Each structure stands twice: as C-alpha cells, then as structure tokens.
Amino acid sequence: MKVNVQLREDGDMLRGKIEGEIDTFTAPILRDELETITIGKYSLIELDLSNVNYMDSTGIGVFVGFYKKVNREDGKLKLTQLSDRLTRLFEITGLNELMDIETLKKVELSDGNI
C-alpha cells in the first residue's frame, strides 16, 4: 500500500497527480502533502486521480478537509480523471454536488466506418 503525490506549478495553477491507494495507512501521507500547498498562490488547484486504484472513507475525509481549507482561503479545487469506482464513491456521499469533479475520459474506439 503506497500513495505518491506529484505537484507542479503551471502558471497560476497547481497541478497534482495522485497515484496508488488511499486508505487508513496512506491517507496521513496524502494529507501531509496537501498541507504543504500555499492555496492563495494559485487560481486553481487541480488534482488528477486517474492512477488512484483504491480509496476508502479515510481518503474521502482527506479530500473533504482539503476542500474546506481551499474554500476558506477563497481558492478553487478541481478533482479530475476519476475512475467509475471513485466517481461512484463521491456520488454516494453527495460530494459530487459540492466539489468540482471530472470523471475519467474514455476513448471511444471507431467501428471502422468513416
């Protein structure tokens, strides 16, 4: 069980990529990484979750806490590239109604007809 967080500045945006599993053991690592972000420095913080292959309620708690912090500091947070499983988790909790969430884009294969 491991979580990896990569952050990079892109103008006035901060883009992050989170990989691995977010559970009771790894959530504190993720929380610590997110705590280092100076929110007021960026117009948008965008976190790509395309490589998060598992998340439990402790992971949801980390994102709720970070979302609240970003809102308190008048920032904007967007979670992107959520798998169907993660999207469903945010839907069940109702967080998809509060947070800016973008699901994983699926590539449609052509049937050969042009």
Pairing state of beta strands 13-22 and 3-10? Answer: antiparallel
CATH number, domain containing residue 8? 3.30.750.24
Residue-number span of the structural domain to which 16 is assigned: 3-103
User: What is the predicted pLDDT for the residue at 107?
Assistant: 53
Q: What is the pLDDT along the chain (114 residues), one digit of tens a residue?
A: 699 999 999 999 999 999 999 999 999 999 999 999 999 999 999 999 999 999 999 999 999 999 999 999 999 999 999 999 999 999 999 999 999 999 876 555 555 555
Find, among 95, 113, 55, 39, the residue nearest to 16 by Cα.
Answer: 39
User: What is the predicted pLDDT for the residue at 111?
Assistant: 59
- Indicate the pTM of the whole model: 0.87
What is the C-alpha to C-alpha distance for residues 112 and 104, in angstroms, rounded to an integer?
A: 24
Domain for residue 109, yes or no? Answer: no
Domain for residue 114, yes or no? Answer: no
